Amino acid sequence: MIGFLGASYLWVKAAHVTFIIFWIAGLFIVPRYYVHHHETTPGSAEDRAWTERADRARTVILLPALVLSWLLGLALALHIGAFTQGWFHAKLLLVILLSAYHGWVVSFGKKLAAGERPMQGRSLRMINEVPALFTILIVVMVIVRPF
């Protein structure tokens, strides 16, 4: 299959999978940080330390991984003509929803940094499972291609 990526297709695919792994890892770790951060006293040294850890993870891992995953994924989709295939439409919807979750993670971190605790710890722990569910569904769409 030689599209506009030519011989670099497999390298682009490998990079895409790598950055997806980084993105999902970040979406697992940052909400886990929030669970610990949530239990601190707003304004304390521990509160500031958790804010700094989460900020670093968001800027060093999450944002670059999100951007590169999208760019490489779109290049791959164009290369193989995926925009006409049903499995890809489902995958794209799931990735858009996962990106929205990413946005929620970022906004929630800003609330924690401001001293707000808008969610119970138990709910925060449960919402930490969202990336796992989306990852399973996305992998099924790409590998099984059920439609």
Cα–Cα distance between 82 and 60 in angstroms, integer?
A: 30
d(CA 13, CA 94): 19
* Contact predicate 94/134, CB 8 Å: yes
Q: What is the SS3 string spanning 67-80?
A: HHHHHHHHHHHHHH
Is 91 part of any known ligand binding site? yes
CA–CA separation, 23 and 20 (whole Å)? 5
Dihedral angle of Cα 73, 77, 79, 82, to the nearest 10 degrees: 170
Point out the annotated binding site for heme.
Answer: 16, 91
Point out the annotated binding site.
Answer: 16, 91
